[in-house]
Each structure stands twice: as C-alpha cells, then as structure tokens.
Amino acid sequence: MSATVTFLLDGKAIPFQDGDTVMDAALRAGEYIPHLCHNPEFTPHGSCRVCIVEVNGRHYSACTLPAAENMNVDNSSEAIMAKRRSLLQMLFVEGNHICPACEKSGACQLQAVAYYTRMLSPHFPHFFPRRSIDATHPDIIFYHNRCILCGLCERASRDVDGKNVFTISGRGMNSRVIFNSDSGKLGDSELSISDRAASICPVGAILPKSKGYQVPIGQRLYDTRPISLVGDSNIRRNDKT
C-alpha cells in the first residue's frame, strides 16, 4: 500500500490523489476555500479568482492549482482575505447587487462569500450598469444586471444538458451572457426548467418564475449557518430560493 501524500493548508495536512487540485482535495477533506465559479461537476474555470491562495509567495487559483506533496498553502491569512474582499467588492459594484431586493438573498453564494470574508462595504463607486431583464421564457427569468459571468450556466448547458443555450460574448465591461436562439431571447431557446443550467446559478441571475420567496428570509440556505459550514450551494441540487 502506498503512503498517503499530503500538502499543508493553513498548517493542516490535506491528503490528495493523483490529478487533484488544491480545491478538490480541500473540499474532500471538509476544508472550505471561498469560490464562486468552481463546481466539482465541471472542469475548473478559474475565472472569478475568489479562490486565490498563496504558495511560496505566489498567488494561484485553488481550483486550477495541482496539488503537490509538501506544498504549503495559505488559505486564510488576512492578506489573502483582503485580496478576496477586493475581488468581491469589484463584483458587487460592477453589477447591480441590491441584496434586500433580491429573491436570492440568504441563498446567494456571492452574498455568503462576502459575509465569510468580512466584506461589509462595496468600497468602490458603483457602476449602476443599465442591463436588460429577459422574461420571455414561460418558467425562467434572467437578470443580466446580476450576472457575475461565472460561466456555470454555460458549462451546465453544454456538458450536462447537451443544449448549449448559454455563452459569454464580448470583452471587459461589454461581456454578457447571450442565448442560443434565432431571436436571441431566452424564451426562444431550448432551455427547460428541469435543466441543470436552470438551477446552477450561484447568484440571482437565473430564477424560476412564480416561486419567489417560497422560503422565508431567515430560513434560507445561509441564513442560519455560514457558507463554510453549509458548503457550496451549487452542489445542493435540491436547494430552493
């Protein structure tokens, strides 16, 4: 039997297997690394950078960093948390994230990670972008102003649903999710309410119609326990807003 190989995460030995990333091994060991675009169902994306960690003075995304023996990973120092807060602050001001008015409040991964990292103010000036809402689908509504471009809906639609309904188009401030239909409207796409892509959004960008506020505020996923204890809302397929 081969000896167990490990790396250190904040001084704790984390066992890993061949092919594991730091994120894979940490989640399997029950250790939380803040993240938004990562989901173990899919190939790592590395776009949000919220899972930033430090190894030997260099910064990496934990979701794409291969685990290596004797690696010493800083996941929770104040310096790392400060960088995460800055990334989250930019996400909040770049979109229109008004938590008290959002149906996803209390079950939103962006909100929960912000609380976990102690990001309690936006710090930067708000952009207040003017972005549309697509309500053409009979069962689903898409809020472009809340989308954080994590790519999870795109990957779920392609890799699980086999439909390629979503894709990210444009660059920089002009980046946005577009829909694969002749009209460009969500209602004319192949998206179904039962698709994985319809339930995977970590924020309030993709929401089912006629089901808002079914779970009262105060009883939602992250209302009673922090995300570090509850885990990734995207893994909990049966979780409801």
**Burial (CB count within 10 angstroms: exposed 0-12, middle 13-18, buried 19+), residue 21:** buried
pLDDT at 235: 47
Q: What number does CATH give the domain 104-225?
A: 3.30.70.20
| Region(s) of the chain under CATH 3.10.20.740 | 8-76
Q: Who contacts 162 (Cβ-Cβ below 8 Å, separation ≥6)?
A: none
Q: Concatenated DSSP letters for 190-236?
A: ---TTSGGGT--SSSSEEETT-TTSSPTTSSTTTSS-HHHH--TTT-
List of long-range contacts for 132-138, beta carbons under 8 Å, 24+ apart:
134/179, 134/185, 134/186, 134/187, 135/209, 136/185, 136/186, 136/187, 136/188, 137/186, 137/187, 137/189, 137/191, 137/209, 138/187, 138/209
Please give the pLDDT value at position 241: 41
CATH 3.30.70.20-classified regions of the chain: 104-225
Crossing angle of helices 109-116 and 78-94, in 10° steps, is 150
Residue 214, pLDDT score: 85
Residue 212: the pLDDT is 80
pTM metric for this prediction: 0.91
What is the signed CA dihedral for 135, 138, 140, 146, rounded to 10 degrees?
A: 0
Q: Which residues of the chain have pLDDT under 70?
A: 1-3, 232-241
Pair 65, 49: CB distance under 8 Å: no
Contact 128, 97 (CB under 8 A): no
The residues pairing with 52 across neighbouring beta strands, listed in sequence order, are 61
- What does the alpha-carbon distance between residue 5 and residue 224 come to, in Å, rounded to a whole number? 36
Dump pLDDT digits (tens) for 33-56. Answer: 999 999 999 989 888 999 999 999
- Please, what CATH class does the domain formed by 8-76 belong to? alpha beta
